[in-house]
A and B are shown apart, each in its own frame.
Chain A
Amino acid sequence: EAGVTQFPSHSVIEKGQTVTLRCDPISGHDNLYWYRRVMGKEIKFLLHFVKESKQDESGMPNNRFLAERTGGTYSTLKVQPAELEDSGVYFCASSHTGARWTGELFFGEGSRLTVL
């Protein structure tokens, strides 16, 4: 079974440009999450989709970030316009919806974003 896949693995852009990150969750996982780790800091929650609906977007830093999950399958995270402080590793994770939550999220390897 394929794991969570993310694209691109690394993106280098200039301040003011736009970048779109893509995440393909594990097939059948209704829950999809975006997290990010900026340099020297801990991994932080950005938002949570259940199927195509945003369940919790309390971690989104500002309106330059837009996440979508049309059709409830893959998700995209767009940063527009990118700022220097957006540099970091963006992780996507997924989990299935079950009767008992185990706390296990399956993470992708991350998309490393460098804003110059």
Chain B
Amino acid sequence: RKEVEQDPGPFNVPEGATVAFNCTYSNSASQSFFWYRQDCRKEPKLLMSVYSSGNEDGRFTAQLNRASQYISLLIRDSKLSDSATYLCVVSSSNTGKLIFGQGTTLQVKP
């Protein structure tokens, strides 16, 4: 079983749509949670950290449910520029050893 599981998609949505990605993790000792974004053939970049209380950054909202070991990312009012692969990432330490999910691909169409 993978340590971090994501639906690979692809998710094809029209501009302006709301789309949600989910992720589950297996290690209950995980301490830190993130969403990274990766454009095609580019490097992963931190999109946002995920906190237990939930957090929002503009059109992006991240939620964490520790009891269910479940993380989500909601994107509202999708833009063409949101097309990318979204990587669910967890860490059980503060050393930079990150555990990645396989990524969920989003394609936003005009």
Chain A contacts to B: CB under 8 angstroms: 4, 31, 33, 35, 41-45, 48, 55-56, 58-59, 91, 93, 95, 101-105, 107-110
Contacts and interface: CB of A to CB of B under 8 A. Distances in A.
A6 B97 CA distance: 20
A72 to B, nearest CB: 16
A91 B96 CA distance: 14
A93 B95 CA distance: 12
A48 B97 CA distance: 8
Contact of B43 (A31, A48, A101, A110): A110
21 contacts: A33-B97, A35-B100, A42-B2, A42-B101, A42-B102, A42-B103, A43-B100, A44-B100, A56-B95, A93-B96, A101-B32, A101-B94, A101-B96, A103-B32, A103-B34, A103-B46, A103-B89, A103-B98, A105-B46, A107-B45, A108-B43
Given A41-B102, A91-B44, 4 more contacts: A43-B87, A48-B95, A48-B96, A108-B43
